[in-house]
């Protein structure tokens, strides 16, 4: 059976595996799966966006599904529009933070969360069967163009209130957030200095927001004496933050701070995160009445947990945040408004960041061919359980073993032929000691697999 969807929808190099023909088939499959109704379609700034969107929309229309085309739209605006228009699904034509030669297709449910792997597998089965619904001539779908930006801003302004006004440097990476993110911040009464806001599909910086790719943002925050720097990836479902002193705020620190702020804003409750998140979050939110729940890695797993069991906030250490009071779609733009509200209520970021405990995190990659991953993980699980003295085991995604002052996660990469080891300890010495043992264990397991 054809496997088209990866860990975050379809994501491929354009005109190689991701062709207009494939986009057409996915559109036909989604329309067949839905059997009717309306689908919201948005796209990021990539040069291949219009080409793929046209083919995809054509496929949907052929099955009798109507389309609301919202044009250039960050992922969170697509999620918002699904609810606004009462649509049956949403689709973003995006490759998120991948380089410009990539594009992709990500499908969203009516409640704003992404399609689960099971739902994606159903679409794949329909593509492989070639058994697409064909609407008769008088039931072919219709296209309507719409721009939900104004409603998005209005709703966001109802939920975020500022007493002061702040100066913000906003680096949208020439991505889909280039218009909506500065628009929202200005409507909140802030002064915005925009970087990389030309939505051309030609990217000036690497789209993944990290200390290195945001070095110009950091320098600009300092030079302009700004209160904060905010950055997004290509489809603006993620957020990276630079503090008032021009330092990139580590993801784990930002995750703790915003989770804590959500507890203050919305009251005590569950904070959902993934198995690769560290202890700082638990330690920071506990005194604020937060209980941390860990899921598989990926925004779908976090949203799924929030949808089924509720919670105040869901976030991954990659800067992907879900605010269930707002939507189940990860939203880097609304997240930016919340960061400013947090600064407004609690004080400058450089000071807030000091309150979050810091532990030592180490990461390693061990080469492992994809076909050996399953067997190697079996051996790793068995050996790790035997050779480490641990208190708790979480095996929903890879194997995470933990004690009161350290944890180790063994997890095969979903996209590359490698095994990942992530671990955290209270001291550098202990972390290195654990890593040495973990690396040996994984290398041996890969060898034997
Ligand atoms: Mg993204």
Q: What letter does residue 359 receive in the DSSP assignment?
A: -
Report how far apart, in Å, the C-alpha atoms of 315 and of each of 107, 272, 303, 305 are. 20, 6, 9, 11
- Annotated catalytic residue 58: no
- Domain extent, residue 134, equals 10-146
Dist CA 381 CA 271 (whole Å): 27
Q: Which residues pair with 409 in a beta bridge?
A: 400, 422
CATH number, domain with residue 52 = 3.40.120.10
Specify the pLDDT at position 6: 86
Residue 385: pLDDT band (50, 70, 90) is confident
Same domain, 181 and 304: yes
* CA–CA gap between residue 130 and residue 143 (Å, rounded): 24
Which residue matches tokens 């219709």? 142
Residue 104 lies in a domain: yes
Where residue 383 sits, what CATH number does that domain have?
3.30.310.50
- Centroid of chain to Cα 271: 16
Distance CA 188, CA 316 (A): 26
Q: Ligand 1 mean position to 8 CA, how many Å?
A: 9
Say which residue the tokens 């590359």 belong to: 416
- pLDDT, averaged across the chain: 96
Q: Which of 96, 149, 197, 213 is catalytic?
A: 96
Q: Which of 76, 113, 80 is nearest to 94 (CA)?
A: 76
The SS3 of residue 395 is coil
- Antiparallel, parallel or unpaired: β 313-315 and 269-274: parallel
Dist. CA 130 → ligand 1 center (Å)? 30
Ligand 1 centre to CA of 95 (Å) is: 7
2 inside domain:
no
* 3-class DSSP state of 108: strand
317 CA distance to ligand 1 middle (Å): 13
CA-only gyration radius of the chain, Å: 22
Residue 414 has pLDDT above 80, yes or no: no
User: Does residue 4 belong to any structural domain of this protein?
Assistant: no
Split into its structural domains, the chain has a count of 3
Report yes or no on 3 lying in a domain. no
In angstroms, what is the span from residue 239 Cα to ligand 1's centroid? 9
Q: Which of 125, 146, 167 lies at the terminal end of a domain, its last residue? A: 146
Spacing, Cα 332 to ligand 1 middle (Å)? 9
Strand partners, 170: 194, 230
Residue 250: left if φ>0, alpha if ψ -120 to 50, beta else—which one? beta
Q: Do residue 349 and residue 370 come from a single domain?
A: no
- Residue 311 included in any domain: yes
- Enter the DSSP assignment of 8: T
CA dihedral 149, 150, 152, 155 (to 10 degrees): 180
Percent of the chain with pLDDT strictly greater than 90: 96
Average pLDDT over residues 38-42: 98
One domain for residues 116 and 242:
no
Q: Which two tokens stand for residue 26?
A: 């996915």
Residue 1 has pLDDT above 70, yes or no: no
Q: Which residues contact 320 (CB under 8 A, 6 or more apart)?
A: 237, 238, 299, 302, 330, 332
Q: Between the CA of residue 83 and those of 93, 320, 410, what are the distances in Å? A: 18, 20, 38
213 and 316 co-located in one domain: yes
Residues 213 and 340 in one domain: yes
pLDDT at residue 167 in the model: 98
pLDDT the model gives residue 380: 94
Band (pLDDT 50/70/90 cuts) for residue 2 is confident
Residue 160 has pLDDT above 90, yes or no: yes
CB 74 within 8 A of CB 106: no
More confident residue, 40 or 384: 40
The answer to whether residues 122 and 84 belong to one domain is yes
pLDDT at 184 over 80: yes
CB atoms within 10 A of CB 118: 7
> Is 111 part of any domain?
yes
Q: Within 10 Å of residue 336's Cβ, how many Cβ atoms?
A: 29
Task: Please say whether the dihedral angle defined by the alpha carbons of residues 208, 209, 210 and 215, taken in this order, is positive or negative.
Answer: positive
Three-class secondary structure of residue 139 per DSSP: helix
| Predicted confidence (pLDDT) per residue in 127-155, tens digit | 999 999 999 999 999 999 999 999 999 99
Ligand 1 centroid to Cα of residue 388, in Å, is: 36
- Owner of token pair 């397991």: 445
Q: Are residues 237 and 141 in the same domain?
A: no
In a shared domain, residues 139 and 48: yes
Ligand 1 center–CA 195 separation, angstroms = 18
Q: What pLDDT shows up at residue 349?
A: 98
Token pair 């089965």 is at which residue?
125
Q: Which of 135, 74, 151 is nearest to 106 (CA)?
A: 74
- CA 51, 54, 57, 63 dihedral sign is negative
For residues 428 and 289, state if they share a domain.
no
pLDDT of residue 310: 96
Give the confidence band of 413 by pLDDT, cuts at 50, 70, 90.
confident
Whole-number pLDDT of residue 311: 98
Q: Give me the residue label for tokens 């991953």.
A: 373
What residues have their beta carbon closer than 5 A to ion ligand 1?
Answer: 96, 233, 235, 237
Q: Per-residue pLDDT for 126 more than 90?
A: yes
In terms of domains, do 101 and 174 share one?
A: no
d(CA 34, ligand 1 centre) in Å = 25
Looking at 324, 353, 382, the residue that finishes a domain is 353
The Cα 247–Cα 254 span in angstroms is 12
Q: Are residues 136 and 160 in the same domain?
A: no
β-strand pairing of 290-295 with 269-274: parallel
220 and 245 share one domain: yes
Per-residue confidence band for 41, with pLDDT thresholds at 50, 70 and 90 = very high
Distance CA 43, CA 61 (A): 17
Domain endpoint, select from 146, 180, 198: 146
Q: What is the pLDDT of residues 4-31, one digit of tens each?
A: 998 889 999 999 999 999 999 999 999 9
Q: Residue 44 pLDDT more than 80?
A: yes
Q: In 3-state terms, what secondary structure has residue 216?
A: helix
Asked if residue 188 belongs to a domain, the reply is yes
Average pLDDT over residues 386-404: 92
Q: How far is the CA of 235 from the centre of ligand 1 (A)?
A: 5
The CA 201 to ligand 1 mean position distance, Å, reads 15
Whether 126 maps to a domain, the answer reads yes
């Amino acid at each position: 059976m054809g496997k088209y969807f990866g860990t975050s929808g379809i994501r491929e190099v354009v005109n190689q595996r991701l062709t207009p023909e494939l986009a057409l088939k996915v559109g036909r499959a989604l329309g067949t799966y839905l059997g009717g109704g309306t689908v919201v379609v948005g796209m990021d700034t990539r040069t291949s966006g219009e080409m793929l969107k046209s083919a995809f929309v054509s496929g949907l229309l052929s099955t009798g599904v109507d389309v609301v085309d919202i044009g250039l739209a960050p992922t969170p605006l697509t999620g918002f529009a699904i609810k606004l228009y009462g649509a049956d699904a949403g689709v973003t034509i995006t490759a998120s933070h991948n380089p410009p030669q990539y594009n992709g297709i990500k499908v969203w449910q009516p409640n704003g969360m992404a399609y689960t792997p099971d739902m994606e597998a159903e679409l794949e089965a329909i593509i492989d069967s070639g058994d697409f619904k064909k609407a008769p001539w008088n039931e072919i779908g219709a296209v309507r163009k719409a721009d939900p930006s104004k409603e998005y801003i209005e709703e966001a302004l109802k939920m975020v209130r500022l007493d002061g006004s702040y100066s913000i440097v906003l680096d949208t990476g020439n991505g889909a957030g280039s218009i909506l993110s500065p628009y929202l911040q200005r409507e909140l009464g802030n002064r915005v200095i925009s970087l990389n806001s030309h939505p051309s599909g030609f990217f000036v910086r690497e789209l993944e927001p990290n200390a290195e790719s945001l070095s110009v943002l950091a320098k600009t925050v300092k030079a302009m004496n700004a209160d904060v720097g905010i950055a997004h990836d290509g489809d603006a479902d993620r957020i990276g933050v630079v503090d008032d002193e021009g330092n990139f705020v580590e993801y784990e620190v930002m995750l703790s701070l915003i989770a804590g702020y959500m507890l203050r804003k919305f009251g005590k409750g569950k904070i959902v995160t993934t198995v690769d998140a560290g202890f700082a979050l638990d330690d920071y939110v506990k005194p604020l009445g937060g209980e941390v729940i860990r899921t598989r890695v990926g925004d779908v797993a976090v949203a799924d947990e929030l949808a089924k069991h509720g919670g105040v906030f869901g976030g991954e250490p990659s800067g992907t945040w879900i605010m269930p009071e707002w939507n189940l779609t990860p939203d880097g733009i609304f997240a930016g408004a919340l960061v400013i509200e947090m600064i407004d209520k609690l004080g400058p970021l450089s000071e807030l960041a000091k309150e979050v405990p810091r532990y030592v995190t180490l990461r390693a990659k061990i080469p492992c061919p994809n076909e050996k991953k399953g067997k190697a993980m079996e051996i790793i699980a068995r050996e790790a359980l035997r050779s480490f003295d641990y208190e708790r085991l979480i095996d929903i995604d890879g194997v995470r073993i933990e004690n009161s002052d350290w944890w180790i996660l063994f997890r095969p990469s979903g996209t590359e032929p490698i095994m990942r080891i992530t671990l955290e300890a209270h001291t550098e010495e202990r972390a290195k000691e654990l890593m040495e043992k973990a690396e040996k264990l994984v290398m041996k397991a890969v060898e034997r697999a």
